[in-house]
Amino acid sequence: MTDASGQVRPVARPTGLSGAVRPPSGARTVEQFDTTTTADKQQAAAEARAAQASGEGRLLGRTIASLGDPADPGLWIRTPLVDKAGKGRVVYPANGEAVQLDLIPIDGPKTAGSRMSLAALRVIEAPLTDLPEVEVYAE
């Protein structure tokens, strides 16, 4: 980002927007790393289904999503498809599952891949060790 004097300044990237708790330092399993509550995941899935059914949101594009830092809690995707942090949803076309989450920008061309939180990948039932293609929508 360029400031008023024309100098380039780094932009702070938000983390943990959803307020989830960090996993314990000794976490080793998926269940230990995924600290997002079942209720929060169910609500995020229900909100995404409702938004899908009503046609809400603007399709930003498709991206290949890899597993992001499993120690970074919450429901989020870091993607070059957005320029600023906001709310949105991800749909996994392979099975139609969707999740409401935080959209967090990362630098790179729009064609670059994205990183999704462990909890979000679990909600859409995407394989954690694959590189699923997902659709990203902004609210």
Q: What is the rounded distance in angstroms from the CA atom of residue 113 to the CA atom of residue 126? A: 16
Render 52-120 in DSSP notation, one character per residue: HHHT-SEEEEEEEEEE--TTS-SSEEEETT-SS-EEEEEEETTTTEEEEEEEEE-SS-TTS-EEE-HHH
Q: What are the boundaries of each domain within the chain?
A: 57-138
Assign domain 57-138 one CATH number from 3.10.310.70, 1.10.150.250, 2.40.40.10, 2.40.30.60.
2.40.40.10
Residue 108 pLDDT > 80: yes
pLDDT tens sequence across 60-77: 999 999 999 999 999 999
Q: What is the rounded distance in angstroms from the CA atom of residue 58 to the CA atom of residue 31? A: 32
Q: How many angstroms separate the first and last alpha carbons of the chain?
A: 24
Share of the chain above pLDDT 70, in %: 86
Asked which of 1-5, 36-40, 46-50, 77-81 is least confident by mean pLDDT, the reply is: 1-5
